Amino acid sequence: MAGAKCLSKLEPPLNRLRLRRMKSVLLERLGEPRATADAKALIWLPDSQLPAFEVLASGLSDEEWARLERKELDPLDEVGGVEGLLALLDGCPVSRVKRRTVVFCWADSSMVCGEWGLSTYKTPQRGYVVVTQDEVPLEDNYLILGAWEPAADADARRACVIRCYARNWIDCTLPPQLGECASGEQPLWLECLLHLAESQRGVWEEICSQLRMLWKVDRDQLRFVSRLSGLRTKRLKELYAEAGVRTSPARPAATADSDFDEDEGDGETRWHLLAQAAPIDPQSARFLLANYCCLLERVGLSG
C-alpha cells in the first residue's frame, strides 16, 4: 500500500511503474542468498554489478520509456534517487531508508578528478551495498553490489560490505586501486582492507608502495594510528623505527616528491619489509593499514 501511495505522486508514466516486475528483476539479479556464519541472516552477492537504473527500467514498457525520453526526465531522480527506488520496492516511506557512507574517495590534483564511494542503504526489510560515481552515464551509476537481510543485523551488514569490497575494489576504483584522498567508516573500512590484503596477492605490496613517501609522522597522526590500530604508543614507535620513520610533534609527514628527504633512503623498501611480516603478524598488518588510512585521510597534514 505504501508503495502504491508513493507511485500516485509521480509524474506519468512513472506513476504506472510495475513494482512486482521490478522486485522480480532485483531478486533474479541478486541471485541465490547465502547464510551468514551464525545462520541468523542472509547475504546476496550477485555475479555482476546491478545498476539501479536497470531495476527501474524493468518497470516500464518500451513505449513508456520512450515517453520519458521525450520529456527529457531523469527517471531515477524523479523517483527520489536510490532512496526513493528502494522505498518503492520495500513499500515504505523514503524517510525510512537510511544511507551510511563506508568509504568516500575524491581526486582533484591529477588527470583523474571527481568523487565516488561505497555506501549502504537500509530499508526496514533489507540492506544494500551500493557504489556511486561522478561523471558516468546514469545507466552505469548507483551499482548494487550486494544485499543482506534482516537490515538491522549489524554483523550481516559488516560481512556483506567486506565481501563486496573485496569483489569490486578494482572495477569501482576503491583504495588501494585509486584515490588521492579517502575517508571511511572505521573500523569497518580497515577491516575491508585487511580482508582484501589477506585474500588477494599483491595488495600488501600495493599499499606499501603508496606509503613510501611517509618518513615522518606528527602527534596527530600518531594518535590517529594508535586509535585505529589499537596499538600503544611505545609499540607504534618501535614499528615506525623498523620502517625508518621518525616521530615528530612539529613537522607533518611528507606528501609529495618535493618533500621527500633523499637521505632517508628507499622508503618503499623500508615499508616493504613490514609488508612481508603483515600476513603472519597482526600488529604489523593493522599498523600498515592504519597508516594507509591516515595517509589517505591526510590526518595532521597541511594543505
Q: What is the pLDDT of residues 231-268, one digit of tens each?
A: 999 999 999 988 888 887 644 444 444 333 444 445 55
The domain spans of the chain are 2-198, 201-297
DSSP 254: P
Residues 126-135 pLDDT 10s? 999 999 987 7
Residues 82, 76 contacting (CB under 8 angstroms): yes
pLDDT in tens, 75-120: 888 899 999 999 999 999 999 999 999 999 988 765 667 889 999 9
What the block records as the C-alpha cell of 44 is 546476496
Q: What is the mean pLDDT of residues 158-170?
A: 97
Q: What pLDDT band is residue 300 in, cutting at 50, 70 and 90? A: low
For residue 276, is pLDDT > 70? yes
Q: Model's pTM, two decimal places?
A: 0.88
The confidence band for 69, taking pLDDT boundaries of 50, 70 and 90, is confident
pLDDT in tens, 209-223: 888 878 788 899 999
Cβ neighbours for 280, distance < 8 A, ≥ 6 positions apart: none
User: Distance (Å, rounded) from C-alpha 212 to C-alpha 254?
Assistant: 10
Residue 299 is predicted with a pLDDT of: 64
- Give the C-alpha separation, 65 to 77, whole Å: 15
CB atoms within 10 A of CB 303: 6
Cα separation, 191 vs 187, in Å, equals: 6
Tens digits of residue pLDDT in 16-60: 899 999 999 999 999 999 999 888 999 999 999 999 999 999 999
Q: If we measure between CA atoms, which residue out of 48, 43, 12, 210 comes closest to residue 127?
A: 43
Q: 273-299 burial string, b = 16+ CB within 10 Å, else e?
A: ebbebbeeeebbbbbbbbbbbbbbbbb
172-185 pLDDT, tens per residue? 999 999 767 999 99
Beta-strand ranges (E) seen in the chain are 34-35, 42-44, 50-51, 98-107, 114-122, 127-133, 143-149, 181-184, 216-217, 246-247
Alpha-carbon distance 263 to 278, whole Å? 26
Higher pLDDT, 189 or 303: 189
Q: Which long-range contacts (CB under 8 A, 24 or more apart) does 229-237 make?
A: 229/283, 229/286, 229/287, 229/289, 229/290, 230/286, 231/283, 231/286, 231/287, 231/290, 235/283, 236/287
